[in-house]
Every structure is written in structure tokens, then in C-alpha cells.
A and B are shown apart, each in its own frame.
Chain A
Amino acid sequence: MQCLLKTAVNGEKEVIIDFKSPLGKGAQATVYKSTVGGIRYAAKIFHQQSSFDDKKIVAMIANPPERLEGLTAGILYPRYSWPLSIIIGSNKLSIGYLMPLIDQAESFTLDHYYDKNLGKKLNSPDEVALCDKFK
């Protein structure tokens, strides 16, 4: 199921959230794939409005690090999963926020690059080799 919502910051833009495929679920919120103007993002939607500190998120949006994105090997990557916009629900209350989509299949947590067991999950032979020394 898809849902139409609007963002509060950066104007009234439509965000389409794909509730069918959650990317991750926590005690307080669930992260879903979403799109704004055809570009893919991640939307963190809180289970209860009371557990969402929207003032903190607004402060983050207003004061981001200098380099939210960076070029590596000619490809643009997000450097932080930094909030980009507040998401307002149909009840006119803020229910979560929009952030860059981090491709889980293409990235691994840092410990994969030095932990021998986790390193086995890396496909690249070079990266596996890096973890080989811990055998």
C-alpha cells in the first residue's frame, strides 16, 4: 500500500511511502522506502506521535554538517543519514522524517571490514582477504 503525505519543510512536496516493504523496524519507529519527485529516500515513521521529537529533527535540518553528500569514485553518496524534511500525516501532525536512502545491499557496517566472521558476508574477494588475517 502506498500513501501520500506532505513535507513541512522545503515546501509542500508529496512523498510516496511504500508501506509494503519496511527497511527496518525498531521499538519506536519503522523505516520505509519512499520517493519524492521520482527520487528515492527513506522515511522514518514513528509508531506514536508522542515518541517523535520533531523539534530535534527541525534543529538538525536547520544545522546540518557541511558535506551531507560526497563524491567517491565518481558516485555521489550520502555521508550522513541526516534528516532532510519532516513528514506530516493526514491528521496534520508530524509523524516522522525523510532521510537519504542507504542501500543496505551495497553497504556493510564498519565491523565487517575487520571481523573475520562478519567479513565472510562481503562478496568482494579483496574485502574477504582483508578479514582473512583473523582466521
Chain B
Amino acid sequence: MRSHFATNLSSLVADLHSHGHFFIDFKPQNIRVFKRTHAVTLIDCDGFAIESNAGKRYPAELLSTDYISPEAFRNKSAAKDLDINQDRYALATIIFQLLNGGIHPFQGIPTGSLNAATNDEKAALGLYPHGLVEDLRIHPRPQSVHLCFDDVTRALFDRAFIGPPDARPSAEEWAKHLTSLLDNKQLTRCEKNPYDIRHMRFLNKECPECLFQEVKAQRNNTKKKKTTIDFNKLNQGTGSVHTQQNSSPKSNLLLSVGMYLFVGILLFVSVVAILKETNKAPANISTSVGEQYKNILTDKYLSKLNKIEEISTTTKSKSEGGHIVNARASKYYVLAWTIIGARDTPYYPLAFRLNTQAYDLGHPEGASNLGYMYEFGMGVQQDFQKAAKWYRKAIEMGQPHSAQAELRLGNLIANNKIPSNTRVREARMYFEAGIEVANNGNWKDLKSGYLKELGDALNRLNQPSIEAPISTPSKQLSSPPSSSGLQIQDLSIDEKASLESACNQDKTLGGPNAYTACADRNLKLLAIGPRLPTLSTFDTEKRANLEAACSQEKYLKGPAAYAKCIRNQLDQKRQ
């Protein structure tokens, strides 16, 4: 997950640099991450160093400690004098911290006396303890997991922190490197803890979380040993010549009694707490659903449930659509879906419970089904807001199971069941995301079903009666007159999506006229240039590669540029 943050951040900074702007006061506090989707946003942009279209520079004014480049610190440079090298240093520092649990790249334990207390001072002296080649002047902290990074990443960090300023990796280089790590599956789950998101490791490298836990356990053991020795010594009264020299036997005895009393109280409180917990309604994932429902279950579900609960909650896993999921969770949601599908009303509460269990075990389908039950009032009171909440949870949990959630949530928005300022646009996004998810999924039957439903939903959305936004009765927004002869309704789904996205700024800030002008401009360009090939004819992987290569053109430059980009990509592949 943190690698995704680092990748997104690098892309944003690369985009900024390509326009001649610099961040300068580059620090984690100026970067916000949305908790539900982990989208990254750069804030305080008016403090950036800006280059106008005419080439005039408007400098930055602020710098923050821990993120000042070594040369700037040594030369005591002001923020206004700094350039892209400052950003490259700060970017590498933040990526390092993200990957290494917040440890600053220059944070370490000096081996001798050094005249450098702060990280910036150490950076200015080049005291980098995490390099590929060990620096004998400083050791890394025991908690550092830098040895678990892949060698290319470590080499990039070396260039950023101990190389000359102009040799630092650019933001674009970081973005490409991190994307390739993610695309080529260079990050993988740790075998010991495959369901714990903290346990992600680089291929052929040790799991950083396991390493960290090992170091932590060692430290705890050391502390425990120390405590035990001290306690024994206390119990020995005056017997210890090493520790008891300054203590009287009477005070030792009192201290011992006090310690035993304290431990006794702690034990009593713990036992009471455990007993209370035991009497509570079972809620954790290890609780047997069969046990809770055996009084009301008939044979038809009880035997299935008993079989499911023989599956381990922690070790058994299976592949669904190319993704590894918990085996018991998978069975839970399938049984729940059987009950829902059969409209077996008396067992809706059981289905609800099974879906909750599936969700607790990390299966997105559990969340999606809970949304469905709320949407249609199955065993619970119908509540569109709660339905939307569960669909969003399923979407957050990821592919390939979120196609249903994307479809249902898009429908809720399109049908005005939940409020949205940009109803059509938002619904379209969910449908398109659903199509993308369904296309990427490996499961054959569901894929075709969802693709059809999502395609139908998109078509319905594009009908004039639905297309007009609620707050703006004018149909001009969706269907501006075109002087090119080409009309919006003549466009394919992908072309329409591209046009809507490219003209989004004009629509929201400039109003209907600006939108119409933008749409007209795009339609003219599309009318004279090549049209977008039908992407649905390509296989999933090829389509994903094409989409990735041309996403900027699709969402920002409009359908003509998008079509041109796709055709260029196809030509290159043919060559």
C-alpha cells in the first residue's frame, strides 16, 4: 500500500516538474491521503516555485527541516534559490520513510563522536547509514528494514542521498521504477502471514514486518530478562552483592510484598475481564456461525455450514479470479448468496451474518452482499445510504470482486437513490470502473454477466431522460450542438468518457457555454482525425496496457488525442 502512495506521489511530482514548477517545501504535512481510497493530493500549492507560460519564475518562500537538501543546508540557501534538486532529494526522503516505517534516511547511530545532531546536519556530512556500501561512521537503527528493499531501489536511494545533486533520480524515474515493481509483481505477500497487509515483501527478500517483529521480540526478551533478574534479586533479600549494596533488607521485603500485591491485583482484573468477554455475544471471526444458528437451522444449511467451519480461518486460501482469498470467507459468502438467491426469507438473518463473517475475514464479496441486502431490505430495513456504504467498502477492498458493487452503487446514484452533486458523471465512473474490473477478472461466467449489465447500465445512463443533470435542466450540457456534424451520441462509450473528462473543468467552472465550446472543439478534432478502435475486442492484458499508456490522453486531452495515442500504441506493437 505504501508503495502505491510512493508511486502516486512520484507521478504527481513528475507532472508538476514537467510544467517547470517545483514543490520546494516538500514534506509529508503538505501531502494528503484519502483514507478510503488512498488517493494522494498535494496541498499548499501557492507556496510552490512556479514558472509562468512566458518563462517568468515566482519563487517559493518556505523550507522545512528534515527535507532540506544537503547542498542547500551547507550553503544556507534560501527557499527562493532552490530548484528541482531540492524536490528530488525531498521526494527520495519521503519514499524512504514510507518504505522504512518513518525512519529518516540519515537517522542512525554514529559509531564515534560526530558534530551532527539533526538529520539535516548528518545529510550535509553524507552520513548515510543505509547505503549498499556500509558507512563505518554510522550504523542503521535496529528497526530499519532497508536490507529488505530490492537492490535497484537501494541503488536509487544511494544516488539520491550520497550522489551529486544532479545525479538524483527524477520523480519520473521513481514513478517508472515503482510502477514496474508493482506491475511485475516484485512485491509479494509473506508466506508466513499471507492475510496481513503489513507483511508485504520484495521478491527474493526477507519480509520487513517479520524482520521488524523479530527485532522487537529480541528487544522485549532482553527487557524481560533484565526485569526477571532484578525481581529475583529483590526476592533474595540481601543475598545479592551486585544490586543490593545500597538497599536495606526491610525495604526489600516491603518492595517484594508490594510487587506481589500488584501482580495479584493485575491477575484478578485480567480474569474478571476475560470472564466478561466470554459472556459477551460472540463477534470475532473465530466464532462458529453453526453454533449460533444450530437451533434454527434445518439440515439443508446446517450440513453445509458444518463443512465450511471445518476449514481453517487462517491457513486455507484459494484463488478467485486470480486473487488469493480466504477459503472459509469464500464459502460463507457463497452460502449467503444461495440463501439470498433462493429468497429463503427466514434465513436472511443467517445470510447477513455469513456475509459479515466473510467481510471480517477480508472478502470483498461479503461487503458487497451486505450492501445488496440493505438495498433490497433483505432481513434488514431497506437503507440506501447503508447499502452505498457497504458497496464502497467492497470497492475499497479491491478487484476482482468489486464489479457487483460498482454496478449496484452506480445504479443507486443514477436512479437518484442517494444524493450526488454530479449524478450522471459519478454513476458513469462507477459503471466504467466496474467494466474495467470485470474485464480484468479471470472468472468467465460472472465476467460476461457483469459486462452485459454494466454495458446496459451505461447505455441507459446515456439516454437523454437520464443524461440531463438534476440541478441543470438544460440538455446542452450533455448534448451540445456540434458544427462538425459529429454528435455526442455518435461517440463510443470510451470516446464519450474521454470527452466528458476532458471538458469537466469547463463544465464545472465555465458553465454550459464553456462546456459546449469544449465539446464542440473535441468533436471537430475527432471528426477530422482517426476514430477510436473498439477496445473490447482486445484481450484483458492488451487492453489494460493500452489504457495505461494512453490514460492521460483519455482523461485530459480528449477523444481525438486518445484515439491517436491508442493507434500509435497499436502501430508500435505491430512493428
A113 touches B21 (CB 8 A): no
Interface residues of A in 60-74 (CB under 8 A from B): 60, 62-74
A74 touches B430 (CB 8 A): yes
B28 touches A110 (CB 8 A): yes
**Which B residues are closer than 8 A to A by beta carbons?**
1-2, 5, 9, 12, 15-16, 18-21, 28-46, 48, 50-53, 56, 58, 94, 97-98, 101-102, 196-198, 209, 212-213, 395-396, 406, 409, 421-422, 425-426, 429-430, 432-434, 471, 504-505, 508-511, 514, 552, 555-556
Please give, as numbers and ranges, the residues of chain B lying within 8 Å of A11 by CB-CB distance: 510-511, 514
A–B Cβ pairs within 8 angstroms, 8 of them: A10-B509, A10-B510, A76-B426, A77-B41, A83-B46, A109-B28, A113-B33, A130-B198
Please give, as numbers and ranges, the residues of chain A lying within 8 Å of B430 by CB-CB distance: 74
Please give, as numbers and ranges, the residues of chain B lying within 8 Å of A71 by CB-CB distance: 429, 433, 555
In the bound assembly, the distance between CA atoms of A60 and B44 in angstroms comes to 13
In the bound assembly, the distance between CA atoms of A13 and B511 in angstroms comes to 9
In the bound assembly, the distance between CA atoms of A106 and B421 in angstroms comes to 18
User: Residue of B at shortest CB range from A9?
Assistant: B509
Out of B29, B196, B514, B556, name the residue touching A66 (CB < 8 Å): B556
A74 touches B555 (CB 8 A): no
B34 touches A72 (CB 8 A): yes
B40 touches A79 (CB 8 A): yes
B197 touches A63 (CB 8 A): no
Please give, as numbers and ranges, the residues of chain B lying within 8 Å of A18 by CB-CB distance: none
Chain A 80-103 interface 0/1 with B at a Cβ cutoff of 8 Å (1 = within): 111111000000000001010011
Q: Shortest CB–CB separation between residue A83 and chain B, in angstroms?
A: 7
Q: Output the residue of B2, B33, B98, B196 with the most chain A CB within 10 A.
A: B33
Please give, as numbers and ranges, the residues of chain A lying within 8 Å of B426 by CB-CB distance: 75-76
Q: A60-B45, A63-B51, A79-B40 are in contact. List 4 more A-B contacts (CB 8 A).
A: A59-B53, A66-B18, A79-B41, A130-B197
User: Residue of B at shortest CB range from A72?
Assistant: B39
Q: Shortest CB–CB separation between residue B5 and chain A, in angstroms?
A: 7
A55 touches B41 (CB 8 A): no
- Chain A contact patch, size range: 35 or more
B102 touches A77 (CB 8 A): no
A112 touches B52 (CB 8 A): no
Out of B37, B508, B556, name the residue touching A37 (CB < 8 Å): B508
In the bound assembly, the distance between CA atoms of A134 and B98 in angstroms comes to 13
Out of B58, B395, B508, name the residue touching A53 (CB < 8 Å): B58
Please give, as numbers and ranges, the residues of chain A lying within 8 Å of B101 by CB-CB distance: 114, 133-134
In the bound assembly, the distance between CA atoms of A59 and B19 in angstroms comes to 11
Please give, as numbers and ranges, the residues of chain B lying within 8 Å of A8 by CB-CB distance: none
A39 touches B41 (CB 8 A): no
Please give, as numbers and ranges, the residues of chain B lying within 8 Å of A64 by CB-CB distance: 19
Out of B30, B36, B198, B505, name the residue touching A106 (CB < 8 Å): B36
A111 touches B37 (CB 8 A): no
A110 touches B32 (CB 8 A): yes
Q: Shortest CB–CB separation between residue A81 and chain B, in angstroms?
A: 5
B5 touches A62 (CB 8 A): no
Please give, as numbers and ranges, the residues of chain B lying within 8 Å of A72 by CB-CB distance: 34, 37-39
CB contact under 8 A between A59 and B433, given known A70-B39, A107-B33: no
B41 touches A133 (CB 8 A): no
A20 an interface residue at 8 Å Cβ cutoff?
no
| Nearest 9 pairs of A and B residues by beta carbon | A74-B433, A59-B52, A72-B39, A114-B102, A110-B28, A111-B28, A56-B58, A77-B39, A110-B31
Q: Shortest CB–CB separation between residue B227 and chain A, in angstroms?
A: 19
A74 touches B505 (CB 8 A): no
Please give, as numbers and ranges, the residues of chain A lying within 8 Å of B36 by CB-CB distance: 73, 106, 124
Please give, as numbers and ranges, the residues of chain A lying within 8 Å of B421 by CB-CB distance: 38-40
In the bound assembly, the distance between CA atoms of A114 and B511 in angstroms comes to 42
